[in-house]
Amino acid sequence: MFQIRCDLHLHTNHSNDSREPLENYCKQALAIGVDCLCFTEHADHNPKDPGYGIYDAGAFFEEFQRVKRIYAPKLKLLAGIEFSEPHLYQEGLKSYERFPYDFILGSVHFWGDDMFPGEMIQRGVSVEKCFEDYWPDVLKSVKSGGFDCVGHLDFPKRYYRKLIYSKEFLGEICTEMVRNGIILEVNTSSLRAGLDEAMPNADMLEIYKKCGGRYFTMGSDSHMAKDLYTFVDEAKKIALGLGLEEVYFEGRKMIKA
Ligand SMILES: [Zn+2]
Ligand SMILES: [Zn+2]
């Protein structure tokens, strides 16, 4: 089976939307047999984002090093961020280069009229309009680069519970990712939300592969320790079945899991 069980998308009380201490994830990992954790706190540079100005990299690393000293013999602990809208905040993204991150996820959380999908639903933005505005921003984000992996590629699906994409445009995004050395995350938070597929689904993973994509990371996108690694084995099986290879990152270098 799997050589190493990784969950590379986790939020703790260093993110604006989680209250979970890092250590609780370590305890849960030991309890359920997960080997490798990456904390990917929200780094939000959009003033409209509720996470704006909250993340403190210095405070995070202080706590991360303390927890790592305790758990390092038993767990591989990695430091990351989930950086929002890399195409809009390249200077902000660069400001993290002075910290020793292992892994940087790039995610598009706000788009269109600068809204989060939850707000779009409230304001009656149609699912068609939502996706129509979303995909070009994903393309812009992978073109601007500066990160290792795209977080939750078909993100609006988690909110609208519907998926719209054009194979051609997705192909363009994936081709640009490969060209720019950016890989794909398989995110299981949609499964936890009751949908029947991960983000992205198998069809999209096939397009990624056709465009030359070879590698993926696994992430539960947990905000609570009890959600650590949920649905990861199931979703990973699908990606591995397509011939893709699971990896994790250490010091921003890709390593086969
Ligand atoms: Zn996210
Ligand atoms: Zn996240």
- Beta pairing, strands 245-250 & 253-256: antiparallel
Query: Judging by beta carbons within 10 Å of its beta carbon (0-12, 13-18, 19+), is residue 136 exposed, middle or buried?
Result: middle
Distances from the Cα of 139 to the Cα of 134, 142, 153, 160, 176, angstroms: 9, 5, 11, 21, 8
In what helix (H) or strand (E) does residue 65 lie, and over which residues does it extend? Answer: helix 57-71
Ligand nearest, relative to CA of residue 85: 1
Ligand nearest, relative to CA of residue 106: 1
Distance 250 CA to ligand 1 centre (A): 21
Distance 156 CA to ligand 2 centre (A): 13
Distance 148 CA to ligand 1 centre (A): 14
Ligand nearest, relative to CA of residue 221: 2
Block residue for tokens 């990152």:
249
Ligand nearest, relative to CA of residue 220: 2
Distance 184 CA to ligand 2 centre (A): 14
Ligand nearest, relative to CA of residue 17: 2
Coil/strand/helix, residue 178: helix
Distance 38 CA to ligand 1 centre (A): 14
CB 30: neighbour CB atoms within 10 A? 13
Distance 248 CA to ligand 2 centre (A): 16
In what helix (H) or strand (E) does residue 149 lie, and over which residues does it extend? Answer: strand 149-150
Distance 106 CA to ligand 2 centre (A): 10
Nearest by Cα to 110 from 51, 53, 49: 49
Please say whether the structural domain 6-256 has been given the CATH code 3.20.20.140.
yes
Nearest by Cα to 51 from 74, 84, 77: 84
Helices (H) and strands (E) in the chain, counts: 10, 9
- Which residues of the chain have a pLDDT value below 50? 1
Distance 83 CA to ligand 2 centre (A): 9
Ligand nearest, relative to CA of residue 109: 1
Ligand nearest, relative to CA of residue 158: 1
Distance 138 CA to ligand 1 centre (A): 13
Distance 37 CA to ligand 1 centre (A): 17
Q: What is the pLDDT of residue 3?
A: 78
Q: What is the pLDDT of residue 38?
A: 98
Our CA angle for 134, 164, 176, nearest 5°, is 55
Phi and psi at residue 51, to the nearest 5°: -90, 0
Q: What is the pLDDT of residue 152?
A: 98
Q: Please report, for the chain, the start and end positions of each structural domain, with discontinuous segments joined by +.
A: 6-256
Block residue for tokens 């030991």:
30
Q: What is the pLDDT of residue 120?
A: 98
Distance 190 CA to ligand 2 centre (A): 12
